[in-house]
Structure formats: structure tokens, C-alpha cells
Structure 1
Amino acid sequence: MTTYHSTRSRNESLTSKQAILEGIAHDGGLFVRDDVAAGAPSLGALMAGTYQDRAKLVLGHLLDDFTAEEITSCVDAAYGDNFDSPAVTPVSPCGDDWTLELWHGPTSAFKDVALQMLPQLMRVSRAGDGRNVMIVTATSGDTGKAALEGFADVPGTGVTVFYPHGKVSDVQRLQMATQRGNNVAVCAIEGNFDDAQTEVKRIFADAALRDRLGEENVVLSSANSINVGRLVPQVTYYFDAYAQLASAGALKVGDAIDFCVPTGNFGDVLAGYYAKLMGLPVRTLVVASNANDVLTDFIATGTYDRRRPFHKTISPSMDILVSSNLERLLFYLSEGDCDLVASLMADLAEKGAYTIPPALLERLHATFACGRSSDEDTRATIRSTWEEHGVLLDPHTAVARHVLEQRPADGTCRVVLSTASPYKFSADVLAALGHDTAGMGGFACMDALEELSHTTAPAALSALRSAPERFGDVVAVDGMNAYVEDKAKELLA
């Protein structure tokens, strides 16, 4: 059985069930296994069957202390009629390239693929241990709602979500503020996503808080992609996209493929790297950034420097300057050098920047490419994609499409990951299509976008206009710790 340990040391050795419940290692690192490829199912096996069949193979490989029966029960519970497409994540043509639609779940964002699964994995992992779990999550817009939806009213589980006040779309805020469930809490913070994420990591590292909650029979865990149970389910849709394209005749099994991923916290694109390590013939993973282009600069130069202005953009889920999952990539690029990873993370914390050795940069460039899209570029891409292809894009997907369009096509199959329904960002999409949205509320924009495009907004988004708001708390960053402790006692009493 494969064990997991921190990216920064091998002091802990945990099963995948234990790693999922812990969320983050005690030294602040992220849980990884040493060899992702060893024992992986064959590419041929992963091409057969349905999305659910592929998910069972991927999860069974990466989480191998789960029994086949446990994996099957998790997959069957996670991927059913809660997705509005039988394909779960369908691939559709867009010009000469392809779009992987990851937003057919209950919250209309790609996070659903993992956050409908994570509660199931936690359910199995917790069996018989008798502890309650408080999920603590920072969100730049989509993770929060997907976590709330996935864990709402799950017995023995509480959920606390923090989001940056005034820095998510109206629909994203309403999705969280109106969340049903007796075990959920939502709170805005006075700061940006990086402030929220950094403080959540401090909360997990707070031994005194951990001890106090332990006395209340509560353990902290995370629904962010720092949790390996959040990351692993995302690997499936890379294999599934490839299988769909092979079935459609767009490629032959064994052909190379490129994916372009709009990226903030690096989890979505890292899942593609896991798929490559497991044998998917990925040629290039293109990392697409908005004006918060710290990842673009890192991939180009090997220097990660978060000491730069923070930009509020029309693609808010990517407004991130500290990309947590990059730490896992550094572990694999360095061939498991925990000391190097720990040193780089210390430099980031203390100096705000680090530079990887030349050998790592060379390995990085063997798989990863990058590009950036300004808000102006993003708006232009939304408009041109609609006018030329009749396809509506949300601002995050448009970032990736713009970046991909700057790269010359050479006949290799290319896929853009579409991470959210355009209706989550109706005002920005409508404005990009040339309509004056002055004085229009979010739902007026949603209605106008339906009329313009002759498409229909997801029912769950449209229904927000009549849903009562339940949550309006706002705290300073240094109040997050106390908020979590209070909510753990309140929701898990």
C-alpha cells in the first residue's frame, strides 16, 4: 500500500485516508506520494467504459488503501443526476480546437467534479473513528460554494468558508450567502484570496487550536486543493477528455495532446501533470494567467515572486499570487527532494520569492508553457468566440482560449479547460459582447444574456434571485482563527 508524506519532509507516513482527513501536513507541506506512475492502469484500460469507470480506476490507483467497493460507492454517489450531462464533463468543438466543459455540476463550476467526491472520500475515511470534522476553506469564488454544497448537512461535519470581501462576482457571493444547511458558515474577510489562504494555512498549523478542538472531538480538514482528496478526482477528466476525443475520431490512442488551463492555485493544471505521470500522452500543459501573472513569470524564468501588485480582474477565481499546489510540482520536478522544497517555501514565506535550480527549470519547460491575458484580451476573446463559433465563454475560460490562440497550431489536438458557466459572470460576459450594462443588476444581465444567446441559465443560478441571504459576516484576517473555533463549537455541538 502506498503512503503519503509531506512535500517538505518524510517525517509523517500516512495512508491516503489519513492524508485526506488531515488536509495539510503538520509542517505546512502538502501530502504527496513518491511515485504516481507505479502500478497505474494502462492507457487502454482507461479508454474503456464511462466517466464513472475511469474515475474508479484513477481513484483506485492514487488512493489505494480504499477498497474497490469503497471506491465504487464513492463514485456512484458523486457522479449521478447531480450533473446535468450524462458525460459529466463533455468535450465540445470550438473552431479547430476543443473545449472540456467542467461546469455541469450543481454549482456550475469545475470544483464540483472534486467537491462532489471529497465528502464521499471523507465519509469512508472517517468510518468508525468517532471524530467530527470541521472543513475550513478559503475561496476566490468557486471552491466555497462547491464545498458548501458538497458538505451541507453531512453528519459529523461542519463547513466554514472564507472569501475576499468585494472580490467575487455577485452570483458567486449569492451562491455562498444563500447556502442551505445547518452545518455551514460563510464569512467575508477584509483582504484578498491570498490573505485568506495564508491564514487558513496558519490555522491548520496552530497546534494550540488543534489541541483545543481535539478536546471537543473535532479535527480540522480542508476542501481546498491543498487536500489530496480534492486534487485526485480532477485527474479523471483529463483521461476522460482524451477518451472522448479518441471516440470522436479527433485523435488516435497514443497521439499527443495539449491542454490549456486557466490557472490560479495550480490545482487544476497539476491534475493534468498527474495524468501525464500516469501515462496520458500529454505533450504540453499551457498555464494561462490573467493580470495576476505570477505563474507566467515563474514558468518563463524559474523565479516565483509574489511581491507585485494584486489586480482585481473580470476573472476573479484566478486573482491569486500564491499558488499553493505549485509546491507539489516542485516536489516531483526535484525527484522528491523535500529539503529543497522546504527551502524554497521558506524563501517564499520570508522573502516573498524563490528561484529554482536550472535543472528544475529545464524539466519544467519539458512539459509546461505559459501565457497571459489582460481583461481587454479576455473581453475580446469572449466576443470573437461568440461571433465566430456561437460559443459563450466565461471570463476564466476566455483567458485560456486567448492564450491558446497565441500559440501556433501544428495539428496536435488542443483542449481548453472551461471552468465555469458563463452565467456565473453574466454582467462581464454581456458587457464583453458589446452591451451596455450600466444600471443593470446581475439577474437582469442573466436574463439579457439568455435572450441574446438563446441559451438557458442553469436553474440553480437563476433561482438565486429569490433565495434568502443567510450569511453576511465580515472579519479581519486576524479574526479568522477565532471565527473557526467559534463555528466548530456552534455547528458541531
Structure 2
Amino acid sequence: MVENLYRDTRGRAGDPVPFTQAVVDGLAAGGGLYVPEHIPHFTLDEIVDLASVPYAQRAARVYKAFGVDLPDETVDTLMAAAYGSNFDTEDICPITSLDDKTHVLELWHGPTSAFKDMALQCLPLFFSASAEKLRAQGAIDHTFLILVATSGDTGKAALEGFADKPGVQIGVLYPEGGVSDIQHKQMATQTGDNVMVWAVRGNFDDCQTGVKRTFSDKQFAEELQKVHHVALSSANSINWGRLLPQVVYYVSSYAVLVAQGKVAAGDPIDVCVPTGNFGNILAAWYAKQMGTPIERLLCASNENRVLADFINTGTYDIRDRPFVLTPSPSMDILVSSNLERQLFELTGRDPQAIASWMDDLARERAFRVDPDTFAKLRADFASDSVSSEDCLKTIKDVYDEHSYLLDPHTAVAFEVAQRLRSDNPVLIASTAHWAKFGPNVYRGLHGIAPGEDLPAEVASLTGCQLNRLIVKETDLPFIPAGLASLDEAPLRFTETIDAGEASIEDATRAFLSRNQ
């Protein structure tokens, strides 16, 4: 077992901690995020050889290299459980090639049909194993409440992963009216005795800010420990245990492209990722640091283009920026949590700079990085944003040309990839099955403008009924079972709360009291 410790990006959490502690803590004390002290390096041969073993074994090799302080055999067992029959293909995340240089990494073959399954089928297992180890050491004697803010996909994936896991309860908050009908039903129908879901009056940033403030409330944390014997933790990508599984699929994908003869070993590829919270593209950056021949990272934004503007200017500014509801709701984010980790790495791991910028963002709602950090950012990243109209048009264009149907998030990435691509092959991260966003996929296929009313006979359909209509019109393969049967599932969660810290804390108290 390789030793590695994890330190926080703001330098306020004290001594570095092992992987198990970083995972159960989620967020570092003082608000920073955990990062590994050492990034492992794989040789090209070691990367290419990953394709010779099943995906679970690839994941285990990467985890062991990052210094997970669990026995190797435990890591192997947990990965076999994380990546098995719960996915609808043995390939776990297959690659579909639209032409010789355009490859789509399908990250949506898990139980909730979104890329979050790649991490959230894994994290709960490692969370439980980590908590068990810490209890055996006498380091903790409490259970956990996982509190999650979601823009759509993380919530269901986290609920699915943590449902009925011992020693853990989970509460999910999503923006009321800010997720698709299918996403809403996936969360509101979730089974399990240890789960709770709240709609929040506001947008995703309101949810995320409220949750972060709840985590930072020391008095509330003491109350939870005293009254409920519970500590808060996170399943959002602020948790390193959420991010590391995403690193795996970028390293793995390069090996697969080589094995399939689509890329010569050692030749570079570009990677294009649709992202609002920056975690998915940060994972590709870590894969590059490990030795994966990734040249350029293409950051795809929708009309909430704060990341595109930052990458192109070095200034992060949300002072007077409107929050836009788009056809790609999981990217409707203005405050990008994982950018903090990226900047920490690009500054040469300078916690004072990160703390200063994050304080500026919290206080002034803007910050600007120094010229050296900006130059390093530009060396790795390029970015562009896609209008809602172009997003829907891309869905139709790709279907007409390739008989392949993109969800709106992947459509944003596809369009940015076409604008910014070099001569390198490009790997496009496809983050969700199209059936999670049926109304906007239908708009795209039929040339209906974003926000324009659907025809009455279509608007009256449920999400599942509309998806069946799209399948009939396009003669596409089946809809995943987890999405096809949502109309029959009873709605369990209908509560709506305010986005403020006090409201979230009151709702949390009520949930824990009911479950005691």
C-alpha cells in the first residue's frame, strides 16, 4: 500500500489526514477542499495495460496508486461491488466513435443514467469502509448525515448509492423548478429508510451556498453531535472521494482508445467536458498529471458562462451576472466549487492565495488571479459557451448526421469540441442519457425554440410518455429501466423549504428526529 496524505487548499485544517479521514470529513475544517499531497505517475505502458483488465480492476489500480489507506484486498472487493451488474454494460463506460477523431465517452450506463453514478456507486462503499476503520481505531463514535446540494443528477445518484447503507443518513436539496421532470421524479420517488429530499425555493447556487453555510456552523455541528450523535459529511464533488473515481475513467478511456486502435499509444488526445462545478474536467486534469497523454482540456459552458469567462480572462465575476435556466440544468451553476482545487494546483499549492481569492469571492463575489496562474491555466485549458438555441440545434444536427442522440449537456460539449478542437482526436464526456431531458431533446429534434411551449398533445405527456414518443420517432434503442418506470413509482418527498441556513438546519433537525 502506497502512503499518501491529504491536505486542504486553504491551509486552515491543520495537519494532513489520510484518505479515510478526508472521505468521512468531506469538507476540510475552515472551508477548504482536500487534495493529495502526491499525485502518482503511471508510465505509458502502465496506462495502456489497463485495457487488459476489467474496469473494476483499473479503478483499484488507480486508487492504490493514490495511497488509499485500506488493505489492497479491501480496495479490490469494493471496486468489484461498485462496478458490476449495477451497470448495464460490462464496459461500464463504453466509447462510441462518431468518426475517426470524435469519440463519445458514455458515462451514463449506471443505475441513475448519469455520470454521477461513476463516482456515487463507489463513494458510499469507501465511505462506509473508511468510517468502519476510524471507529475501530477509536477516532470516531458517531454516525453520519450526508447533506447534498444538487443541480439534478448528483442528488439521485447519491440517494441511490447511500440508500439503506448502515451508519449513514442522507438529505438532498434541489432547486424547485430547476431540474427536469425526470430528475425530479427520480429523487422524489427514492426508496430507502435513511433518505430525505427537499425542494428549495431558489436556484442551485442558493442550495449550494446554504449547505456550505450549514457545514460551517460550528454550533449546529455541536448540536447534531450532542442531540443526535451525528456528524455532517458530503457526497458532492467537494469530497475527494467523489472526485477520484472520475480520474479513473479518463485514464481508463485512453487505454481503451489505444486498445481499439483509435489512438496510437503515446499520441495525445483532447478532452471536452460539459461542466458547471468544474469537478469533471478537473478529474481529467489530474489524469493528465498522472501521465495520460491528454493535451488540451476543453471546458464547455452553457449560457451560465462564468467558467468560460474565467478561463478566457482570469477574472471570476458573478456580481451582476444573471442566473439563466437552460436546457442543460445540471450546468446551471455560477459558483464553481472545484475550481478551488484547480487553482491550488496551478499556484504551486499556495493556500494563502486560495484563501484570499475564496474570501474575495464570498465577500465581493469576484476575484482575479495573478498573471502567472492565469498563464498556467491557459496552457492547459480552452473554453467556450453555447447558447440554448445552439445546444438544441446540435442535438438535431448530430442525430441527422450520425443517428446518435445527445442529451443537452453532451450537446453543449459536442458544439464546443467542434469550435475549439485541434488536429488531435477529441474525447467528449457524455454526462447523461438523453431520456433524462426528454422535453428539450424533443424541442431539438423538432426545431422548437428553448422555452417555447411544446404542442399541446406533447405537453400533456408525462416525461416517460414523451420519452417513448421520442423512441418511436427515432427508432432508437430502449430507455433505461430506471427511467422508463418512473410514472408508476409513488412520490415520497414533496416538502419545499427556503434556501437559508436556518431553514436547512430546521429541516435537518426534523428529518433526524423522525428517523431516531
Q: TM-score range by the shorter chain?
A: over 0.9
Indicate yes or no: 2:481 matched with 1:464. no
Of 382, 386, 406, the residue aligned with 2:395 is: 382
AA of the residue aligned to 1:164: P
**Partners of 1:86 and 1:50 in 2: CA distance:** 8
SS in 1 for 2:446: coil
Of 52, 57, 66, the residue aligned with 2:61 is: 57
Of 352, 373, 393, the residue aligned with 2:365 is: 352
TM-score, structure 1 length as denominator? 0.97
Of 352, 365, 374, the residue aligned with 1:339 is: 352
Contact 1:430/1:449 (8 A) holds in 2: yes
Contact 1:34/1:336 (8 A) holds in 2: no
**Partners of 1:218 and 1:46 in 2: CA distance:** 41
AA of the residue aligned to 1:431: R
AA of the residue aligned to 2:6: Y
How many residue pairs match? The answer is 489
Of 460, 463, 466, the residue aligned with 1:445 is: 466
**Partners of 1:329 and 1:408 in 2: CA distance:** 22
Q: What's the counterpart of residue 221 of structure 1?
A: 233
SS in 2 for 1:18: helix
Q: What's the counterpart of residue 211 of structure 2?
A: 200
Q: CA deviation at 1:277?
A: 1.0
Of 404, 408, 429, the residue aligned with 2:417 is: 404
Q: CA deviation at 1:382?
A: 0.2
Q: What's the counterpart of residue 187 of structure 1?
A: 198
Q: What's the counterpart of residue 313 of structure 1?
A: 326
Q: What's the counterpart of residue 138 of structure 2?
A: none
AA of the residue aligned to 1:44: D
Q: What's the counterpart of residue 107 of structure 1?
A: 112
Q: CA deviation at 1:481?
A: 1.6
Indicate yes or no: 2:122 matched with 1:117. yes
Q: CA deviation at 1:45?
A: 2.0
Contact 2:382/2:420 (8 A) holds in 1: no
Indicate yes or no: 2:285 matched with 1:273. yes
Q: CA deviation at 1:456?
A: 1.3
Q: What's the counterpart of residue 26 of structure 1?
A: 29
Deviations 1:306-343 (A, max 9, x none): 22000000000000000000000010000110000000
**Bigger shift: residues 171-180 or 69-78:** 69-78
Q: What's the counterpart of residue 177 of structure 1?
A: 188
**Bigger shift: residues 428-437 or 149-158:** 428-437
Gaps in structure 1 of 5+ consecutive residues: none
Q: What's the counterpart of residue 153 of structure 1?
A: 164
Q: CA deviation at 1:273?
A: 0.7
**Bigger shift: residues 351-360 or 428-437:** 428-437
Q: What's the counterpart of residue 293 of structure 1?
A: 305
Q: CA deviation at 1:217?
A: 1.9
Contact 2:4/2:36 (8 A) holds in 1: yes
**4+ residue runs over 6 A deviation:** none
Of 491, 495, 505, the residue aligned with 1:481 is: 505
SS in 2 for 1:270: helix
**Partners of 2:416 and 2:365 in 1: CA distance:** 27
**Partners of 1:346 and 1:435 in 2: CA distance:** 44
Of 2, 11, 16, the residue aligned with 1:13 is: 16
AA of the residue aligned to 1:447: R
**Bigger shift: residues 205-214 or 220-229:** 205-214
Indicate yes or no: 2:46 matched with 1:74. no
AA of the residue aligned to 1:7: T
AA of the residue aligned to 1:117: C
**Partners of 1:407 and 1:267 in 2: CA distance:** 20
**Partners of 1:165 and 1:144 in 2: CA distance:** 13
Contact 1:46/1:57 (8 A) holds in 2: no
SS in 2 for 1:70: helix
CA 1:300–1:150 in 2, change beyond 3 Å: closer, same or farther?
same
**Partners of 1:458 and 1:43 in 2: CA distance:** 36
**Bigger shift: residues 441-450 or 173-182:** 441-450
Q: CA deviation at 1:89?
A: 0.5
SS in 1 for 2:103: strand
**Partners of 2:291 and 2:118 in 1: CA distance:** 21
CA RMSD of aligned residues (A): 1.2
Q: What's the counterpart of residue 126 of structure 1?
A: 131
AA of the residue aligned to 2:63: L
SS in 1 for 2:420: coil
Deviations 1:152-210 (A, max 9, x none): 01111101000000010000000000000010000011110011111111111111111
Q: CA deviation at 1:54?
A: 1.2
Of 135, 139, 151, the residue aligned with 1:140 is: 151
Q: What's the counterpart of residue 418 of structure 1?
A: 430
Q: What's the counterpart of residue 428 of structure 1?
A: 440
TM-score, structure 2 length as denominator? 0.93
**Partners of 2:163 and 2:200 in 1: CA distance:** 22
**Partners of 1:241 and 1:3 in 2: CA distance:** 27
CA 1:33–1:195 in 2, change beyond 3 Å: closer, same or farther?
same
AA of the residue aligned to 2:367: Y
Contact 1:333/1:363 (8 A) holds in 2: yes
Identity %: 45
Of 246, 258, 262, the residue aligned with 2:274 is: 262
Contact 1:400/1:416 (8 A) holds in 2: yes
Deviations 1:38-81 (A, max 9, x none): xx343322322221121011111224312211211210110000
Q: What's the counterpart of residue 451 of structure 2?
A: none
**Partners of 1:199 and 1:345 in 2: CA distance:** 16
Gaps in structure 2 of 5+ consecutive residues: 136-140, 449-453
Q: CA deviation at 1:362?
A: 0.6
AA of the residue aligned to 1:80: G
SS in 2 for 1:298: helix
